[in-house]
């Protein structure tokens, strides 16, 4: 089954509350929360996302899918655990060494939350293999992290396939999420390659009817 995680990053200022309500009615599978610190990526969405998740929690029971694009992972986990996310994903590239990766995995799990690890387009997928038995999801970035509305990198299809095959071989039950440039044109290939959670921001936010686009992306 394919699920859709709606990135709220590109919702226009002032339109947040109505968009969140529409997404709740349209039954997005997750709210995708892009947390940026102005260091790991240029943009800083930290305070805004803390406010947004606080609001979403008050109006919706739908799960939160928190994507950390930050250097200081531990501190950010602490800040976002308060809203009881379903899953927290951090970037492999933000960790200094393997020990830190294992520490973050344990820390998130100890706090009753699922764990994901994300890889940037230039990171080899093999680098994440040793951590897969301990996590719930691998997030393959299909654009350079940092902003919404970018073009899907077609080279990433092979990366998705490689990961999917590896998981099959190793009998690993793992969600494969893709993020960046996902729309009705790019979604079919991504699903065929093996992704089962699609993050979409611009494609959903720009659509007239959130339910129609979410259903079409999922189909």
Cβ neighbours for 58, distance < 8 A, ≥ 6 positions apart: none
| Residue 116 interacting entry, from Zn ion, ligand DX5, none, C-beta within 5 to 8 Å by type | none
Determine which one of 29, 155, 179, 209 is catalytic. Answer: 179
Angle of the 16-26 helix axis to the 210-218 helix axis, nearest 10: 50
Smallest gap from residue 214 Cβ to ligand DX5 (A): 13
Looking at the Cβ atoms of 98 and 185, the one nearer to ligand DX5 is: 185
Q: Is 79 a catalytic residue?
A: no
Q: Going by DSSP bridges, is the β-strand pair 64-69/137-141 parallel, antiparallel, or unpaired?
A: unpaired
Q: CB of 90 within 8 A of CB of 111? A: no
Residue 120's nearest CA partner among 143, 100, 138 is 143
Candidate list 90, 180, 197, 207; residue touching ligand DX5; CB under 6 A: 180
Decide: is 177 part of the binding site for Zn ion (CB under 5 A): no
Q: Which residues have a catalytic role annotated?
A: 34, 179
Where does this chain bind Zn ion (CB under 5 A)?
34, 67, 179
Q: Which positions touch ligand DX5 (CB under 6 A)? A: 7, 9-10, 32, 34, 67, 143, 145-150, 179-182, 199-203
């Amino acid at each position: 089954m394919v699920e859709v995680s709606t990135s709220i990053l590109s919702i226009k200022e002032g339109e947040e509350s109505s968009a969140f309500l529409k997404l709740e009615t349209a039954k997005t599978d997750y709210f995708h929360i892009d947390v940026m610190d102005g260091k790991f990526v240029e943009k800083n969405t930290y305070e805004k996302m803390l406010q947004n998740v606080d609001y979403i929690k008050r109006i919706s029971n739908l799960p939160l899918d928190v994507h950390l694009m930050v250097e200081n992972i531990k501190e950010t986990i602490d800040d976002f655990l308060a809203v009881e996310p379903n899953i927290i994903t951090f970037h492999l590239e933000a960790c200094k060494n393997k020990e830190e990766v294992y520490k973050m995995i344990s820390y998130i799990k100890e706090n009753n939350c699922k764990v994901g690890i994300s890889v940037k387009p230039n990171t080899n997928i093999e680098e994440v293999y040793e951590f897969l038995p301990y996590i719930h999801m691998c997030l393959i970035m299909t654009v350079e992290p940092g902003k919404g509305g970018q073009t899907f990198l077609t080279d990433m299809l092979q990366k998705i396939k490689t990961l999917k095959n590896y998981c099959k071989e190793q009998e690993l039950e793992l969600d494969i999420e893709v993020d960046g440039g996902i729309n009705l044109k790019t979604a079919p290939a991504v699903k065929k390659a093996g992704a089962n959670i699609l993050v979409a921001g611009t494609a959903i936010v720009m659509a007239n009817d959130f339910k129609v686009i979410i259903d079409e992306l999922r189909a």
